[in-house]
Structure 1
Amino acid sequence: MPFNIGLSGLNAAQADLQTTGNNVSNSGTTGFKRSRAEFGDVFAQSFGGISQTAIGSGTRLQAVTQQFSQGRTEFTENGLDLAINGEGFFVLNDQGSTAYTRAGEFQVNRDGFLVNNQGQQLQGYPPQDPNTADPNFNTGQLEDIRLQTGAAPPNATTSVEALLNLRSDAEPPPEEPFNLNEPDTYNFSTSLTLYDSLGTARDASIYFVKGEEVGQWAAHVAVDGVADDTPYELTFDGSGSIESVDRIPPEVFVEFDNGANPLEFEIDFGGTTQYGGDFAVNDLNQDGFASGRLTGVDIDDSGVVFARFTNGQSTVLGQVAMANFTNPQGLEQLGNNNWAETFAAGEPVFAAPGTGNLGTIQSGALEASNVDIAQELVNLITAQRNFQANAQTISTADQVTQTIINIR
């Protein structure tokens, strides 16, 4: 019996050493969670035995459990590196099966999918409308996140906002009728760039002509040097605020010969004033843009993936999905920083980062291993002494046995 007790102690100390050694070897592994060897005492007692005099039969390894405490955040220069601040796991598509990980070392493969270094594809929620500033996501559908690597489509100008000040003391121009090539036929002018349906930039100008009546102005629009026949009629009240804007139809219609659709846009003069100061352009903007090339990808703390383009626009590509379990320690370790769901872990709960009990995402960072090297070195010393002490138990039992055998 003493030999068995000592042998069980040796096995337990050996398991403790191996567990600690595995922790130490993975101290630099991204997203690694340290393990702890857990032991239980062994009692062999027959029915009706006296428990007060029962002697234990040693120890045995009950479980090696992982400790899912937060690892420190290490910042990198790669925007596709992701760290989880809080609970939860990234969801991966491993050739049709699902795996879970805390390691956020992602990159773009040849097909544009976000993958880890094992080629497993990061899962997310698709946007319902990628062209809106604050899109909603289809959280009932998981799919592989794919980056748009082609050119972003252009958008034709449909509206122009003009915030200007027209001098109240301006006189009607000395010559008429209006001619954009004759400066004496208008008072002021300003210009901006518009875009047709193919993304071609078009030069547009607005010419302002003071009317004969007080507070009346005409705004003539020209695109690519060709003036529209119908001007905007602006009327201001005695306080210098816009009173009315008349034009039938209200939209400017321009046709091109490059195959683009006709350009149809409306100018909003609602913020234009007629004060005593100089002519001033306070703001002049439009909603069109040219096509653009991909310049980068941004991921915010809620997991929303944005693609940035050279035309200053951004497109929502999806939202990173996360999963959590009732008992993460029940997950099956697959290696390569991955886990698989089990009955003991419970059913996975999928949701967006930052919702429920899920943590947020830090882009450009990685979660380091939660191994404390100093603590593990102390554990090594303790396990080594436990091994030596149990070896001494066997040695002592052997000496006792030899003494008994040598009795004559």
Structure 2
Amino acid sequence: MTFFGALGTAVQGITAQATAIGHISDNVANASTIGYKQVNTLFGDLVNNKVIGDSKIIDSNKHMGVTATADFGNRRQGTIIRDGSNTTSIAVNGAGFIPVSRATGVDALTREPSGFEDTTYYTRLGDFRMESSNRLVNSAGFYLQAVTAQPGQTVNLDTATPGDFVVDTRPIAAVPTSTVGYSINLPATALAGKEIVTGIGVIDAESNEQNFQLIWTKTGNNTWDLNINTTQATPNNFGPITYTFNNGVLATAVTADPNATIADGANGAIWVDVAVDYGSGSQTIRLDMGSNGVVDPTELPSLTQYAGEDREASNISINQNGLRGGEFKYVSFEDDGRIMYNYENGRSAIGGVIMLANFREPDRLERLDGTVFTESTASGEVVFGRPTSGTNGVGGFITGALEQSTVDIAEQMTRLMVAQQAYSMNGQVISAADTMLSRAVDMKR
């Protein structure tokens, strides 16, 4: 190798080490950046080959050198730390990226996004917050993309593609009561005239809780009358419905009330249908008392007459399927990617699903500012999968948590010392070659 070859190789060495120091600098600067992936440096030697016939040999008269290229560790998993204060923080555990979009501008009046780029970006930065446009945006300014769930619509998540997602903050509608599940064991030893009162609040179409009272009166041996009291409705009373028991189970059920439709247990079912109007239209409510001939009186629902302690009713259970409406309260994420709308009345509903994006070569994604990546030819095309489902090679989510930077400061300091020494030694080579060249020139004088 000539003097000039040595100089060229040393210059390449300095350039390569400067590149490595640049990568180390980026890593150290982003040691606290959520979702950041450490960049390492790969060094490769350069050999000038000389072709002689069909063979390739090293020409010792030509200098060799070194190259430095970035090694992106996008696959590397960062430490996950809980962030319980935010219901829309989410960390990716395993392979995959969260799809996001970037706004093209902001409306001057509303300060909301005026539009979005066509490009889909991918990130591991999951510190989302809901902004005034009801979209979920992370600290880098990228907006969450998800599959939106529509009421009454079935979505195939195996083929669904995420898109612009807007949180629906409208109140959730009431679900009027249609069924009251009821179990009771009437005391066989009770005296005639014994009255047992139970009841429950039912929900009308206007989301109001209304009275639904059940009054049992023993009228004779093994015979009970049931009256259903709906004082706030029209009509406000149904019955009596007369139930006769034999050996603890229902024998007959009859009523003279034309407003009550009954199933007497002859075909197994025991129920009473009543149509009530609480001021918001007719509403049919079924009092479901299960199946006749239930051996175990604790089986729900059920209607039996066995001896009870102190001649009182037992095994009483009552529930209803109505749900009150409510105002939107907050949005939250689940580990399976579901986006949940939570309401002030304690109800919740699925608003959408966050999918995970995977690539054949995630380390070959193109890096951009804001801890985001874009698809490249080398990375392969994006494939979406459901979190924690095992589909398409994606990982899962941990909600209320954030993935920390993969940078190890101690490791970076060690790499920096090595790079500094290598940089210095390459400088020494240049100085030595320069001195030798100067002396060679002086010898000719």
Give the TM-score of the pair, scaled to structure 2: 0.82
User: Corresponding residue for 2:67?
Assistant: 60
* Residues 229 and 71 of structure 1, relative CA distance in 2, 3 Å threshold: closer
Counterpart residue identity of residue 18, structure 1 = G
Candidates 267, 276, 282, aligned match of 2:307: 276
Among all aligned residue pairs of Structure 1 and Structure 2, give the percentage whose two residues are the same amino acid.
Answer: 26
Task: Tell me how far apart the structure 1 counterparts of residues 323 and 134 of structure 2 sit (CA, whole Å).
Answer: 25
Matched positions, count = 389
Note the alpha carbon deviations across 1:233-290, whole angstroms, 9 max, x for none.
Answer: 434331x244565565241111233xx1222101012213222112236311111122
Residue 266 of structure 1 aligns to a residue whose secondary structure is: strand
Aligned to 2:297: none
Cα displacement string for residues 157-192 of structure 1 (whole angstroms, at most 9, x for unaligned residues): 11101112211112222xxxxxxxxxxxx6111121
Q: CA deviation at 1:83?
A: 0.1
Distance 2:406 2:130 in 1: 27
For the Cα contact (< 8 Å) 2:99–2:162, is it kept in 1?
A: no
1:286-301 equivalence runs, <5 A: 286-301=320-335
Deviations 1:35-58 (A, max 9, x none): 111122122233337527466421
Q: 1:24 touches 1:373 (CA, 8 Å); kept in 2?
A: yes
Partner of residue 210, structure 2: 202
Deviation, 1:67, is 4.3
Distance 1:289 1:52 in 2: 84
Alignment counterpart, residue 397 of structure 1, candidates 433, 439, 443 = 433
2:120 alignment partner, SS class: strand
Which residue number corresponds to residue 409 of structure 2? 373
Aligned equivalent of 2:79 = 72
Instruction: Kindly provide the CA deviation profile for residues 67-117 of structure 1, in whole angstroms up to 9, marking residues without a partner as x.
Output: 421000011121100000100000112213210001101011212222223
Tell me, in whole angstroms, the C-alpha distance in 2 between the residues paired with 1:319 and 1:332: 26
2:336 aligns with: 302
Q: Distance in 1 between matches of 2:315 and 2:30?
A: 63
Which residue number corresponds to residue 211 of structure 1? 219
Is there any run of 5+ residues in structure 1 with no aligned partner, and where?
174-185
Q: Quote the RMSD (CA, aligned, Å).
A: 2.2
Q: 1:344-363 residue pairs with structure 2 within 5 A?
A: 344-355=378-389, 356=391, 357-363=393-399
CA contact (8 A) 2:180 2:319 kept: yes
User: SS at 2:349's partner residue?
Assistant: strand
Shift in alpha-carbon separation, 1:262–1:368, aligned structure 2, 3 A: same
Q: Cα deviation per residue 1:107-163 (whole Å; 9 max; x = unaligned)?
A: 1121222222344321222336469xxx75554242333323222111111110111
Is 1:29 the counterpart of 2:33 in the alignment?
yes
8 Å CA contact 1:322–1:351 kept in 2: the answer is yes
Unaligned runs of 5+ in 2: 103-115, 262-271, 291-301
User: Per the alignment, in what secondary structure is the counterpart of residue 344 of structure 1?
Assistant: coil
Q: Which moved more, 1:192-201 or 1:117-126?
A: 117-126
1:110 corresponds to: 132
- How far apart in 2 are the matches of 1:43 and 1:92? 43
Tell me what 1:387 maps to. Answer: 423
Q: Counterparts of 1:405 and 1:217 in 2: how far apart (Å)?
A: 125
Name the CA distance, whole Å, in 2 between partners of 1:245 and 1:310.
42
Per mean C-alpha deviation after superposition, the further-off stretch among 114-123 and 362-371 is: 114-123
Q: Which is richer in strand?
A: 2
1:172-187 aligned at under 5 Å gives the runs 172-173=192-193, 187=195
Shift of 1:220: 0.7
Residue 117 of structure 1 aligns with an amino acid whose one-letter code is S
Matched AA of 1:155: V
TM-score, normalising length: structure 1: 0.89
Distance 1:118 1:29, change over 3 A: closer
